């Protein structure tokens, strides 16, 4: 007869880890923490997936040799969250502070307290300083394409020349006419996106075209543009305008007291900043997933005492 052995279950953190943002980084962190039997509170102010929802085709995420659309990948993320037993609370963190050795996250619904916080809040559009925009046209302007993805037979103007602008153009050009407006003489997108847009019959590309003003004219947006080589201005009419000229970290909710302590709290593994919010121009879903996985492993190491 085999002797019975008293096994001791690994100790886990008794307090939930707060994760702000349910994009790829936040989702991965939550899934891995649950594998460690560490509780999580995952909050998201909009929808699961973050900017990934706008991606026309993700081709550099291993496991999908033919690529996968952003929405399809988000759908798989949702299924995995469900399998891991992770629920998402749809609420916005308005302020995050650190007082009396714990975090206080004030949302539009409640106050969440935690010993450890993972900030996976992503990015926000860079402010536009040199473009005049009338109030009446704002309802026709977007910084992402997810809200207008279902449109058909429309004219879409996209301002920008990076990967996002060209990927958005490919996504919207399947059922619409798209014009890409680049103020520079050189596109900044990767070659494959350039080639596909140039091959599309529904995409028009205008370089050295600076948009100076956007106003409303009935049910259309009118973009006043100046060509770098000409004094004469031209007008471009569109049903909707997408501005894709860059993004910056979304950290508006950090309290003034916490801002002074971020570095110290990061060093002590109380704060983990993951995903696009920390990666500058290196905004890729695979990088975000790696960030989230590493954060979860570091958290487990710290609460289990393995990092000592």
Q: What is the pLDDT of residues 107-139, one digit of tens each?
A: 999 999 999 999 999 999 998 888 899 999 999
Which tokens go with 11?
């100790």
Residues 283, 227 within the same domain: no
Please answer whether residues 186 and 208 qualify as being in contact, where contact means their C-beta atoms are separated by less than 8 angstroms: no
CA distance 124 to 77: 22
Residue 5 lies in a domain: no
Residue 8 lies in a domain: no
Residues 107, 148 within the same domain: no
**Average pLDDT value for residue range 47-75:** 97
Higher pLDDT: 229 or 260? It is 260
Residue 95 lies in a domain: yes
Where does the pLDDT of residue 69 fall: very low under 50, low under 70, confident under 90, or very high at 90 and above? Answer: very high
CATH for 83? 3.50.50.60
pLDDT at 14 over 50: no
pLDDT at 305 over 80: no
Residues 88, 154 within the same domain: no
Instruction: Say what the pTM is.
Output: 0.91
Residue 200 lies in a domain: yes
At residue 68, the pLDDT reads 98
Residues 238, 255 within the same domain: no
Residues 224, 88 within the same domain: no
pLDDT at 2 over 90: no
pLDDT at 229 over 80: no
At residue 227, the pLDDT reads 85
pLDDT at 95 over 80: yes
Task: Count the domains in the chain.
Answer: 2
Residue 237: helix, strand or coil by DSSP? Answer: strand
Which structural domain, as residue segments, surrounds residue 174? 132-245
Where does the pLDDT of residue 245 fall: very low under 50, low under 70, confident under 90, or very high at 90 and above? Answer: very high
Query: Among 223, 245, 267, which residue terminates a domain?
Result: 245
Higher pLDDT: 7 or 29? It is 29
Tell me the pLDDT of the chain averaged across its residues.
Answer: 93
At residue 147, the pLDDT reads 95
E strand spans, the chain: 17-20, 40-44, 88-90, 93-99, 102-107, 111-114, 117-119, 123-125, 132-133, 141-142, 155-159, 177-181, 203-206, 209-217, 220-227, 233-238, 240-243, 247-249, 271-273
At residue 307, the pLDDT reads 47
């Amino acid at each position: 007869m085999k002797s019975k052995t008293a096994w001791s279950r690994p100790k886990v953190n008794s307090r939930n880890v707060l994760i702000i943002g349910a994009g790829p980084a936040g989702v991965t962190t939550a899934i891995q923490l649950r594998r460690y039997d560490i509780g999580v509170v995952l909050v998201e102010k909009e929808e699961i997936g973050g900017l990934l929802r706008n991606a026309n085709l993700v081709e550099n995420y291993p496991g999908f040799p033919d690529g996968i659309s952003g929405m399809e990948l988000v759908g798989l993320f949702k299924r995995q969250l469900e399998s891991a037993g992770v629920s998402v609370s749809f609420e916005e963190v308005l302020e995050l502070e650190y007082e009396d050795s714990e975090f206080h996250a004030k949302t539009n619904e409640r106050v969440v307290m935690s010993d450890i916080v993972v900030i996976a809040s992503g990015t926000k559009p860079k402010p536009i300083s040199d473009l005049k925009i009338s109030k009446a046209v704002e309802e026709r302007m977007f910084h992402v394409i997810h809200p207008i993805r279902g449109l058909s037979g429309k004219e879409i103007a996209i301002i920008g020349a990076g990967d996002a602008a060209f990927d958005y153009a490919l996504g919207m050009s399947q059922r619409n006419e798209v014009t890409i407006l680049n103020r520079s003489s050189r596109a900044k997108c990767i070659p494959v996106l350039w080639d596909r847009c140039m091959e599309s019959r529904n995409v028009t590309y205008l370089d050295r075209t600076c948009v100076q003003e956007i106003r409303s004219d009935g049910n259309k947006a009118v973009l006043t543009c100046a060509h770098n080589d000409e004094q004469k201005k031209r007008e471009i009419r569109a049903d909707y305008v997408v501005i894709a000229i860059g993004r910056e970290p979304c950290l508006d909710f950090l309290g003034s007291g916490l801002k002074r302590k971020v570095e110290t709290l990061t060093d002590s593994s109380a704060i983990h900043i993951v995903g696009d919010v920390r990666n500058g121009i290196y905004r890729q879903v695979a990088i975000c997933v790696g960030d989230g996985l590493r954060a979860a492993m570091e958290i487990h190491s710290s609460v289990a005492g393995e990092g000592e």
